[in-house]
Amino acid sequence: MEMRERRRPQFRLLLLLLLCGGCPPAGGCNETRMLEKLPLCGKAFADMMRTLDAWKRCNLSEFIVYYESFTNCTEVETNVVGCYWPNPLAQGFISGVHRQFFANCTVDRTHWEDPPDEVLIPLIAVPVLLTVAMAGLVVWRSKRPDQLL
Ligand SMILES: *[C@@H]1O[C@H](CO)[C@@H](O)[C@H](O)[C@H]1NC(C)=O
Ligand SMILES: *[C@@H]1O[C@H](CO)[C@@H](O)[C@H](O)[C@H]1NC(C)=O
Ligand SMILES: *[C@@H]1O[C@H](CO)[C@@H](O)[C@H](O)[C@H]1NC(C)=O
Ligand SMILES: *[C@@H]1O[C@H](CO)[C@@H](O)[C@H](O)[C@H]1NC(C)=O
C-alpha cells in the first residue's frame, strides 16, 4: 500500500477492478468501525464546503478539489480498518453525503452546463464502474464450476 502511486481516481479504480475484479472479502474488515470513521470524512468535507461562498457550492470546478479530498479520505479510512475500497457500505455513505450537498444543485441546471470532461467523467464513471463490478461479482459467483450447467 505504501507503494501505491498517485493516480487520478478513475485510473486507480480501473486498476483495482482490473487487478482484482473478484477480490474476496477482507478478513480483517470491521464494517462497524468503518461506519464509525467515515463520518469524520463527511464532517471534514462539510467544513471545507462551508468555506465556499454559497453560490459556488454547485460549481463543479470550485468544489472538485474538496470532493476528491473527501473521496480520498473515505479510501484511507476504509483501508485503515482493513476493508477494501470501494465497497457497497462506503459507497452508500458517499452517495448520502453527495445527496446531502448536491441535491439542490440538480434543480439549478444552469450551474451544471458543460462541466469540463476531466471532472465530469470520474463522477459518472465511478458509480458506473461500481455497478459493473458488482454485476461482475454476481456473475463470477454464479459461475462456480460446481454450478455449471
Ligand atoms: C469492530 O469495531 C467495533 C467498534 O470499534 C468494536 O466494538 C468491535 O469489537 C469490532 N469487531 C471486531 C470483530 O473486531
Ligand atoms: C490521500 O490522503 C492521504 C492522507 O491524507 C495522503 O497521504 C495521500 O497523498 C492522498 N492521496 C491522494 C491521491 O490525494
Ligand atoms: C437545499 O435546499 C433546502 C430548501 O431550500 C435547504 O433547506 C437546504 O439547506 C439546502 N441544502 C444545501 C446543502 O444547501
Ligand atoms: C465555476 O468556477 C470556475 C472557476 O472559478 C469559473 O471559471 C466558472 O465561470 C464558474 N462557473 C459558473 C457557472 O459559475
pLDDT in single tens digits along all 149 residues of the chain: 444 545 455 555 555 544 544 444 446 899 999 999 999 999 999 999 999 999 999 999 999 999 999 999 999 999 999 999 989 999 999 999 999 999 988 654 555 555 656 666 667 667 767 777 777 777 777 666 665 45
**Other C-beta atoms within 10 Å of 147: how many?**
8
Predicted pLDDT of residue 41: 97
Q: Who lines ligand 4 at CB under 6 A?
A: 59, 61-62, 111
Residues 147 and 120 placed together within one structural domain of the fold = yes
pLDDT score for 28:
87
108 domain residue, yes or no = no
Closest ligand 2 atom to Cα of 6: 13
Residues 122 and 51 in one domain: no
Answer whether the bond into residue 88 is a cis peptide, omega within 30°. Answer: no
How far is ligand 1, taken at its centre, from the CA of residue 111, in Å? 43
Give pLDDT, residue 124.
66
Same domain, 19 and 88: yes
Give the ligand with the smallest distance to the CA of 70. 2
Q: Could you tell me if residue 107 is inside a domain?
A: no
Measured distance CA(134)–CA(61) in Å, rounded: 30
Residues 38 and 96 in one domain: yes
Do both 22 and 94 map to the same domain?
Answer: yes
pLDDT of residue 24: 42
Distance 35 CA to ligand 1 centre (A): 11
Task: For residue 96, report the distance from its CA to the centre of ligand 3, in Å.
Answer: 14
Amino acid 114: pLDDT: 56
- Do 93 and 148 lie in a common domain? no
- Ligand 1 neighbour 35 (Cβ under 6 A): no
What count of other Cβ atoms lies within 10 Å of the Cβ of residue 69?
13
What is the pLDDT, as a whole number, of residue 22?
Answer: 41
pLDDT at 77: 96
Domain shared by 82 and 34, yes or no = yes
- Three cell numbers, residue 3: 507503494
* pLDDT of amino acid 27: 61
User: With a 6 A CB cut-off, is 30 part of the ligand 1 pocket?
Assistant: yes
- Beta carbons within 8 Å of 69's beta carbon, 6+ residues apart: 44, 45, 48
Domain with 28, as residue range(s), is 2-102
Long-range (24+ apart) CB contacts under 8 A made by 53-62 are 57/101, 57/105, 58/102, 58/104, 58/105, 58/108, 58/111, 58/112, 59/111, 60/112, 60/115, 60/116, 60/119, 60/120, 60/123, 61/115, 61/116, 61/119
For the chain, how many structural domains are there in total?
2
